[in-house]
Amino acid sequence: MTEKLNTGSHDLPISDALAAFMNTGWADTHRDDLAPLPQAAYTAKRRAALAARFPGERLVIPSGTLKVRSNDDDYRFRAHSAFAHLTGAQEPDQVLVVEPSGEARLFLRPRSPRGAQGTAGQEFYRDRRYGEFWVGRRPDLTEAEALYQIDCAPIDHLDGALGGPARVLRGVDASVDARIAPHDGDGELESVLSEMRLVKDEWEIAELQFAVDATTRGFEDVVRALPTALNHRRGERYLEGVFGLRSRLEGNAVGYQSIVASGANACVLHWIRNDGRLNGNELLLLDAGVETDHLYTADITRTLPLSGRFDPVQRQVYELVYEAQEAAIATLRPGASFRDFHRTAMRVIAEGLHDWGVLKISADEAMEPGNDLYRRYTLCSSGHMLGMDVHDCARARAEVYLDGVLEEGQVLTVEPGLYLQPDDLTLPPELRGIGVRIEDDLVITAGGARLMSSGLPRHPDEVEGWMEGLASWGQGGG
């Protein structure tokens, strides 16, 4: 329980009579009918695997804390992915402790008590951060054990469980960091927690497929909304809201800040201002993903002609990116180097730029180390692991991720792009200000890879036909 209530300067005072009245007359709302979370059997296996990786050691993994957006307004809480992966829980200030014996316990904030003396008895109706009347009910200890299938204890008992050295996932909860002396192996724990998510189990792949399918529906929503958005002074933001609605209806939220970039804004890799007007003669780059209620996200990009048809120059750029993506996808299989698909895509890009006369050296020369001039026009990598984080497994060691090989069950994106800056004098004028990215989500299978996002077209002819079927196209606003 919190000793100091989180109240606001404008909250009304509580009289003794009201405090006494608020502590009586409440029904027992404990629930005995809660089924385990669907991932509970999998989280137990993950905890066992983690304990086996560090036998005889105590491991501490916090969920994270609430973060202030402004003054007394917090951001909506999102648990740390490593914690959620091991527990399925999503409340702030929780801490998972794996004991040297391998047994695990989840320390959490119990429900606000009704009828307790002092500030503890007022939390449920006075505390803006944790009070049930302010932010909603949380599970009691017995309910939490039923949901998460793990032994649970009050967070107040955490100190008693932290005797002796422990590895801690640091930088997640400052109060936990302060309780436990740094361990030389803290960094290794962080890496292992990332590496445990490199290969997805069947439940995770199904979650990611749901995220992809919901994202597909969100992209369809956006295309249907284009006629209205074209006439709005902030058309990009209008479309951001359209996709955001789908993400909240079918999932927890967007998995990352949506990129809705029209015209030259598409040349900004992470354009999230989304405050531009749409021009019916330009392209729209939409990079967005729905995050499921269990925190798995899709990550898909499509570049769409706002007129409904690519003009010749737009098609020229789009087709080169499409060819690069096709070549990259063809390399995906168990045992292939993770970097192979990027190198393959970049060779196609370099050959195309050379054919256009933009790249003055041959593709063979451009692919040599230290001679990668083609990157002026594409710059970033062509894909990454995908899962609970949009850039999943980011703390994994290079030898098992970036310099490793692909394995069955891994989920990744393939997303080559061309970003032809509007002020780039090395480009002919007609190419300047065109940005194209095509991004899809794939799962590595025994025989290659399955395109999870096949519900969205990629070939330019198919894109045009798809858009025509979803919206009525007239003359877009400029």
Of 90, 98, 109, the closest CA to residue 153 belongs to 109
Q: Is the pTM of this model over 0.85?
A: yes
DSSP for residue 359: S
Whether 236 shows a pLDDT value over 80: the answer reads yes
Whether 120 shows a pLDDT value over 90: the answer reads no
| Mean pLDDT across 348-362 | 97
Whether 474 shows a pLDDT value over 50: the answer reads no
- Residue 477, pLDDT score: 39
- Positive or negative, the CA dihedral 338, 344, 349, 351 is positive
Of 242, 100, 250, the closest CA to residue 162 belongs to 100
- Residue 472, pLDDT score: 63
Would you state the structure tokens that stand for residue 440, as one six-digit string? 């899809």
Indicate the pLDDT class of residue 118, thresholds 50, 70 and 90: confident
Q: Are the C-beta atoms of residues 258 and 244 closer than 8 Å to each other? A: yes
Whether 2 shows a pLDDT value over 60: the answer reads no
Give residue-wise pLDDT tens across range 258-274.
999 999 999 999 999 99
Give residue-wise pLDDT tens across range 275-298.
999 999 999 999 999 999 999 999
* Mean pLDDT taken over the chain: 95
Q: Are the C-beta atoms of residues 443 and 208 closer than 8 Å to each other? A: yes
Neighbours of 414 (CB within 10 A): 27
Cα–Cα distance between 283 and 272 in angstroms, integer? 16
Of 26, 87, 31, 19, the closest CA to residue 59 belongs to 87
Cα–Cα distance between 36 and 43 in angstroms, integer? 11
- Residue 171, pLDDT score: 98
- Residue 3, pLDDT score: 62
- Residue 344, pLDDT score: 98
Relative orientation angle of helices 460-470 and 202-229, to the nearest 10 degrees: 70
Cα–Cα distance between 244 and 1 in angstroms, integer? 35
| Mean pLDDT across 461-478 | 75
Whether 172 shows a pLDDT value over 70: the answer reads yes
More confidently predicted of 118 and 57: 57
Whether 191 shows a pLDDT value over 60: the answer reads yes
| Mean pLDDT across 235-252 | 98
pLDDT > 70 in the chain, percent: 98
Cα–Cα distance between 347 and 76 in angstroms, integer? 43
Furthest C-alpha separation in the chain: 84
Indicate the pLDDT class of residue 85, thresholds 50, 70 and 90: very high
Indicate the pLDDT class of residue 231, thresholds 50, 70 and 90: very high
| Mean pLDDT across 389-401 | 98
Whether 207 shows a pLDDT value over 90: the answer reads yes
Long-range contacts of 312-315 (CB under 8 A, 24+ apart): 313/430, 313/431, 313/434, 314/283, 314/434, 314/436, 315/460
Cα–Cα distance between 83 and 63 in angstroms, integer? 5
pLDDT > 90 in the chain, percent: 94
Q: Are the C-beta atoms of residues 170 and 82 closer than 8 Å to each other? A: no
Give residue-wise pLDDT tens across range 87-101.
999 999 999 999 999
Neighbours of 447 (CB within 10 A): 9
Give residue-wise pLDDT tens across range 132-149.
999 999 999 999 999 999
Indicate the pLDDT class of residue 431, thresholds 50, 70 and 90: very high
- Residue 1, pLDDT score: 39
